[in-house]
Amino acid sequence: MMRTRPLKVALLGCGVVGSEVVRIMTTHAADLAARIGAPVELAGVAVRRPDRVREGIDKDLITTDATALVKRGDLDVVVEVIGGIEPARTLITTAFEHGASVVSANKALLAQDGAALHAAAEEHGRDLYYEAAVAGAIPLIRPLRESLAGDKVNRVLGIVNGTTNFILDKMESTGAGYQEALDEATALGYAEADPTADVEGFDAAAKAAILAGIAFHTRVRLDDVYREGMTEVTAADFASAKEMGCTIKLLAICERAADGESVTARVHPAMIPLSHPLASVREAYNAVFVESEAAGQLMFYGPGAGGAPTASAVLGDLVAVCRNKLAGATGPGESAYTRLPVSPMGEVVTRYHISLDVADKPGVLAQVATVFAEHGVSIDTVRQQGKDGEASLVVVTHRAADAALTGTVEALRKLDTVRGVASIMRVEGE
Amino acid sequence: MMRTRPLKVALLGCGVVGSEVVRIMTTHAADLAARIGAPVELAGVAVRRPDRVREGIDKDLITTDATALVKRGDLDVVVEVIGGIEPARTLITTAFEHGASVVSANKALLAQDGAALHAAAEEHGRDLYYEAAVAGAIPLIRPLRESLAGDKVNRVLGIVNGTTNFILDKMESTGAGYQEALDEATALGYAEADPTADVEGFDAAAKAAILAGIAFHTRVRLDDVYREGMTEVTAADFASAKEMGCTIKLLAICERAADGESVTARVHPAMIPLSHPLASVREAYNAVFVESEAAGQLMFYGPGAGGAPTASAVLGDLVAVCRNKLAGATGPGESAYTRLPVSPMGEVVTRYHISLDVADKPGVLAQVATVFAEHGVSIDTVRQQGKDGEASLVVVTHRAADAALTGTVEALRKLDTVRGVASIMRVEGE
């Protein structure tokens, strides 16, 4: 049975995502009403530049005073698609205080202050949903939080940044260097003018923090996530990867330690086997592997960004929050009861692919192998190639603590016979 | 804050899935309690063979009287993993009448009587959840029903039967015939002694009905689903597929018609390009592609069957239903407001790959081409191969209504110069 009084929704921000949210709310109003059980009304849109033409939005709805909008008191839901920490954070908490639930796409804010925001939502009996904050349209938060609520997730391994995947895919398929591939990504609109947040891994790290927190029912903040960007990945690294039957992806990896007593979260480029499903994720697509005790290996794949895909995730949350409101209930809030500590990168168990430039003379391999042994790192394969009195030595290790591996590399750098460390890359997904 | 009075759960059926449900409920009791907000207690287990040893289950909980169990009146949730139509249907409706919500893994029942069961749940204010009924552990029902609730799904294309995917994967990778691959699947436990439900597509058709109903917010019953099994797929078909850069999969395909006024649901073997992500789904894995207006292409991948994966899905639903119960609410019920009719197979637009044995003499191709033209079917490619006075003609059509394509094939059979139709296979995923 349909309620006739509409639910009132305010929108904070009306850029690429916000304008798609409005478009869908308008063109699919009847569907949304049928699925929610009540019509949804756009009650206000807070923007920075009110004079910009906004098709399909009544001018009377537009305001520059976001604070006054969220304080109105008659709103059911506030959709926050401004991004960034402030004023988004204050607006969201103000919305909770004044009776509204919140749907947000704000990964940076959730990764930094998720716990406080969840607490504020709970205090006021509101919902805080943010499927759009991680991997755009791909349902991930809801499956982790609800579908896998009876399972034990041990690992989340994903490509969660489309810009960097586009760049790495270009480098692999065309042999281009990083800068050339970045230029193409920029020209095609896949990279922003300042690509730092993407290429240095900040965006992926925020998503890793959110995913790890939900997957392991604990609190993981952005600062807890180890982060390496992908600006130093070279065409030579791709050639090395190819020789190993691998490609290179920027991965977000969240793991439960073998003893179950701690978790880790990290973002860095890594070699993964070409046979791994993540290896074939092309262009700006995202994909996330989830390994859990009972379900086994699951993968979720789709567009990780863009106005319409992100709006799809926002609207899914909007429908859920509206349904909750009509039912007089709230959905699942923060689940952080395990209070598992987040271990530093040094304790993560991984494998290294190390490329060394060494002197081409007898005894070098013995010296190098001794350094690995001294650090307790066992070697899987060594490949030696001579070239003009110099030689290159490619070593792939067995699994070891990251601290032992970095210690090994530091010691190798000090050897007289090691002219340089050409590249270091972790190997994952095996 | 934790409620101390436990929620009471009864289990109907204690086979492969049920025993895993009990195992997880027992070993992860503290986690489930924390996630739900109250402990969960196993209140009874209805089985057919009470004297079978059941590890970890208190003997006092076991009963053969399932009806008395669901009538107890103190149950919060009934988990139905018996399968089949009766007694499952009556037990579920009785459970609703006596105060319990239901979590079911019963695809056959949901595909046949989903509407009536949803109506019964709604009448009594209970939940009916059944994530486990489609594609085992893969979250699909919840993403379609909730994550995509603000989007418009146009197509669902999936591998939803692990047994047949295992058989087809073996045929492709080893060149084996159907019977040989089936025998291997049986020996390895991937196929049942009577594999009819799998290989004739009944299992996939039930899943297609459920997916289509949820995706298009309408009612689709098992009888509405066009169904062809995969027992007639031959090694020669795989060879033909390979020549086209394709492989063969048994697909469940649910589509909204181009005019949006009707939907279709069908299960049949089809050639799909090797570049399509579904082509690389190996062994008994399942994967489902969802195409929606705003989100674009999403894929969900994972184990489609098995005790533990199916139990994972059951327990996710159990947590959700228990949370709803504590909140005094129910989750989203049936959404069938679009009332879109289900069109017959003849109206589905598809492409055919047709292999003909023809007389090797002039004019045959002209005759054959005329038949296609007379039926309004346009030809994409023709490949002719002579062998000992006979010739084979492989025709791949452009897209046309299935009725026009079957009409074309019937007319071809009547040509004197056509000795036989060696194979017909639809081509999808392009």
- The pLDDT, as a whole number, for residue A54 is 82
| Distance of alpha carbon B254 from alpha carbon B213, whole angstroms | 9
Q: Tens of pLDDT along B66-105?
A: 999 999 999 999 999 999 999 999 999 999 999 999 999 9
* A312/B292 Cβ within 8 A: yes
In this prediction, residue B385 has a pLDDT band, given cuts at 50, 70 and 90, of confident
- The pLDDT, as a whole number, for residue B2 is 65
* A337/B146 Cβ within 8 A: no
- The pLDDT, as a whole number, for residue A204 is 98
Are B317 and B25 contacting, i.e. CB atoms less than 8 angstroms apart? Answer: no
* Residue that the structure tokens 């570049």 belong to: B275
Nearest-neighbour CA in chain A from B306: distance (Å): 9
User: Pick the catalytic residue: B170, B207, B249, B325?
Assistant: B207
* A296/B137 Cβ within 8 A: yes
| Distance of alpha carbon A100 from alpha carbon A9, whole angstroms | 9
Q: Tens of pLDDT along B325-359?
A: 999 999 999 999 999 999 999 999 999 999 999 99
Helices A107-123 and A202-216, packing angle to 10 deg: 40
User: Pick the catalytic residue: A107, A207, A249, A325?
Assistant: A207
Nearest to A1, CA basis, from A40, A41, A38: A38
In this prediction, residue B361 has a pLDDT band, given cuts at 50, 70 and 90, of confident
Residues of chain B in contact with residue A324, where contact means CB-CB under 8 angstroms, are: 329
Nearest to A165, CA basis, from A250, A242, A289, A243: A250
Residues of chain A in contact with residue B315, where contact means CB-CB under 8 angstroms, are: 149-151, 294
- The pLDDT, as a whole number, for residue B146 is 96
Mutation target among B40, B127, B151, B330 for the A interface, most CBs of A within 10 A = B151
Domains of chain B (ranges, CATH numbers): 7-136+307-327 (3.40.50.720), 149-303 (3.30.360.10), 345-427 (3.30.70.260)
Query: What burial letters (b/e) apply to A335-367, b meaning 16+ CB within 10 Å?
Result: bbebebebbebeebebbbbbbbebbbeeebeee
Closest residue to B320, CB basis, from A131, A146, A317: A146
Interval B10-30 mean pLDDT: 96
Residues of chain A in contact with residue B318, where contact means CB-CB under 8 angstroms, are: 150
Q: Tens of pLDDT along B152-165?
A: 999 999 999 999 99
Mutation target among B24, B134, B147 for the A interface, most CBs of A within 10 A = B147
CA distances (Å), origin A92, targets A11, A402, B64: 11, 39, 54
Nearest to B274, CA basis, from B242, B237, B233: B242
User: What strands, in cross-sheet order, belong to the sheet with A62-63?
Assistant: A62-63, A40-46, A7-12, A77-80, A101-104, A128-129
- 3-class secondary structure, A91: helix
Nearest-neighbour CA in chain A from B354: distance (Å): 31
Q: Dmax of chain A from CA atoms?
A: 85
Asked if the model's pLDDT at residue B388 lies above 90, the reply is: no
- The pLDDT, as a whole number, for residue A55 is 82
Residue B253 corresponds to which tokens in the numbers above? 């395909």
Query: What burial letters (b/e) apply to A14-41, b meaning 16+ CB within 10 Å?
Result: beebbbbbbbbbeebeebbbbbbbbbbb
Closest residue to A149, CB basis, from B20, B320, B338: B320
In whole numbers, what is the pLDDT of chain A averaged over residues? 95
Q: Tens of pLDDT along A294-333?
A: 999 999 999 988 999 999 999 999 999 999 999 999 999 9
CA distances (Å), origin B249, targets B19, B189, B425: 32, 20, 11
Residues of chain B in contact with residue A320, where contact means CB-CB under 8 angstroms, are: 146, 149
Are A310 and A132 contacting, i.e. CB atoms less than 8 angstroms apart? Answer: yes
Q: Please give the single-letter amino acid code of residue B310.
A: T
B64: number of Cβ within 10 Å: 11
* B300/A28 Cβ within 8 A: no
Residue A365 corresponds to which tokens in the numbers above? 């391999």
In sequence order, which residues have a C-beta less than 8 Å from that of residue B109 and are 6 or more positions away? B83, B84, B85, B88, B89, B92, B117
- The pLDDT, as a whole number, for residue B56 is 85
CA distances (Å), origin A322, targets A45, A71, A101, B248, B325: 18, 19, 9, 43, 18
Instruction: Count CA atoms within 13 Å of residue A166 on its CB side.
Output: 25
Residue A349 corresponds to which tokens in the numbers above? 């168990």
Pairing relationship of beta strands B349-359 and B390-397 according to DSSP bridges: antiparallel
Are B385 and B358 contacting, i.e. CB atoms less than 8 angstroms apart? Answer: no
Asked if the model's pLDDT at residue B134 lies above 60, the reply is: yes
- The pLDDT, as a whole number, for residue A2 is 65
Interval A193-214 mean pLDDT: 97
In this prediction, residue A334 has a pLDDT band, given cuts at 50, 70 and 90, of very high
In this prediction, residue A1 has a pLDDT band, given cuts at 50, 70 and 90, of low
- The pLDDT, as a whole number, for residue A12 is 98
Q: Tens of pLDDT along A389-425?
A: 778 999 999 999 999 999 999 999 999 999 999 989 9
Residues of chain A in contact with residue B280, where contact means CB-CB under 8 angstroms, are: 277, 280
Asked if the model's pLDDT at residue A53 lies above 80, the reply is: no
Q: Tens of pLDDT along A348-368?
A: 999 999 999 999 888 899 999
Are A76 and A322 contacting, i.e. CB atoms less than 8 angstroms apart? Answer: yes
| Distance of alpha carbon B357 from alpha carbon B387, whole angstroms | 10
Q: Tens of pLDDT along B296-312?
A: 999 999 998 899 999 99
* B329/A327 Cβ within 8 A: yes
Q: Dmax of chain B from CA atoms?
A: 85
Instruction: Indicate the helix (H) or strand (E) that contains A77.
Output: strand A77-80
In this structure, the dihedral spanned by the alpha carbons of residues A104, A107, A113 and A116, taken in order and rounded to 10 degrees, is 30
Nearest-neighbour CA in chain B from A329: distance (Å): 6
Asked if the model's pLDDT at residue B61 lies above 70, the reply is: yes
Instruction: Count CA atoms within 13 Å of residue A401 on its CB side.
Output: 12
Asked if the model's pLDDT at residue A17 lies above 70, the reply is: yes
| Distance of alpha carbon A198 from alpha carbon A267, whole angstroms | 11
Specify whether B242 is catalytic. Answer: no
